[in-house]
Amino acid sequence: MNENLFASFIAPTILGLPAAVLIILFPPLLIPTSKYLINSRLITTQQWLIKLTSKQMMTMHNTKGRTWSLMLVSLIIFIATTNLLGLLPHSFTPTTQLSMNLAMAIPLWAGAVIMGFRSKIKNALAHFLPQGTPTPLIPMLVIIETISLLIQPMALAVRLTANITAGHLLMHLIGSATLAMSTINLPSTLIIFTILILLTILEIAVALIQAYVFTLLVSLYLHDNT
């Protein structure tokens, strides 16, 4: 097969113009809203899930940290819907692009760190030097802690990109193997197709889990700085 394995990860264009912005703006349009006094079962379930998720993430925060609740809930909904839409055939997943994930991770991380330096400067600086550190190790530990702080947004972005990309590649390979085996051996095709269905279910779970993990880590960074 001469098909490019990474063709699905290339940002699409319309008449030579990048269509990534339109794709990023599309998932919020799928979220249902209520215009009536009594909500439907779908709206009720959606609100229950949002309240449950926000309660789990905001329980550990103080009053200042809870002001981020709307942003964090919007973030997890956006990432989850984007990941799920990317599982559809012939679709593009923006979260497979490291540049987009960095564009989400860096501002949120920087906002949490700046808030920590503004409100709790002593506690923020204390993270660079653990209590009881031997004097000869102080310069090395300060450098290590500084590096670990600066790579936090990169770790957030790379984790999300790697998990979503790996799942898409695996589904692509198994799907191609199923198509190739369909004209050779029918029993083997059925087995591979069953594996593909199970992998698709797993990828749906991964899409939701990665959205939760990304938002939870941002919430933990916020908790450490408020």
d(CA 213, CA 217): 6
Which of these ranges, 4-13, 161-170, 196-205, has the smallest mean pLDDT?
A: 4-13
The pLDDT assigned to 3 comes to 54
In a domain? residue 2: no
- Determine what percent of the chain is predicted with pLDDT higher than 90: 4
Residue 215 is part of which domain span?
7-225
pLDDT of 151 > 80? The answer is: yes
Nearest to 53 by CA among 221, 196, 214, 179: 214
The pLDDT assigned to 16 comes to 65
Q: Are 147 and 127 in contact (CB under 8 A)?
A: no
The pLDDT assigned to 52 comes to 84
Confidence of residue 2 (pLDDT cuts 50, 70, 90): very low
In a domain? residue 192: yes
The pLDDT assigned to 18 comes to 66
Q: Per residue in 3-52, pLDDT tens?
A: 566 666 666 666 666 666 777 777 777 776 777 777 777 778 878 888 88
In a domain? residue 187: yes
In a domain? residue 1: no
For 153-163, what is the mean pLDDT? 90
Q: What is the dihedral of CA 68, 70, 73, 75, to 10 degrees?
A: -80
**Average confidence score pLDDT of the chain:** 80
What are the tokens at 60?
């550990």
Q: Per residue in 50-75, pLDDT tens?
A: 888 888 777 777 877 778 888 888 88
* More confident call, 138 vs 15: 138
d(CA 169, CA 93): 12
The pLDDT assigned to 1 comes to 45
The pLDDT assigned to 17 comes to 65
In a domain? residue 16: yes
Question: 182 forms bridges with which residues in the sheet?
Answer: none
Q: Per residue in 78-97, pLDDT tens?
A: 888 888 888 887 777 888 88
CA distances from 45 to 42, 83, 100, 194, 213 (A): 5, 20, 30, 31, 21
Q: Are 85 and 76 in contact (CB under 8 A)?
A: no
Question: 113 forms bridges with which residues in the sheet?
Answer: none
Q: Per residue in 170-188, pLDDT tens?
A: 888 888 888 888 778 788 8
Domain count, the chain: 1
Helix (H) or strand (E) run with residue 152 in it: helix 152-181
Going by the DSSP 8-state scheme, the letter that residue 17 receives in this structure is: E
Handedness of CA 138, 144, 150, 156 (dihedral sign): negative
In a domain? residue 189: yes
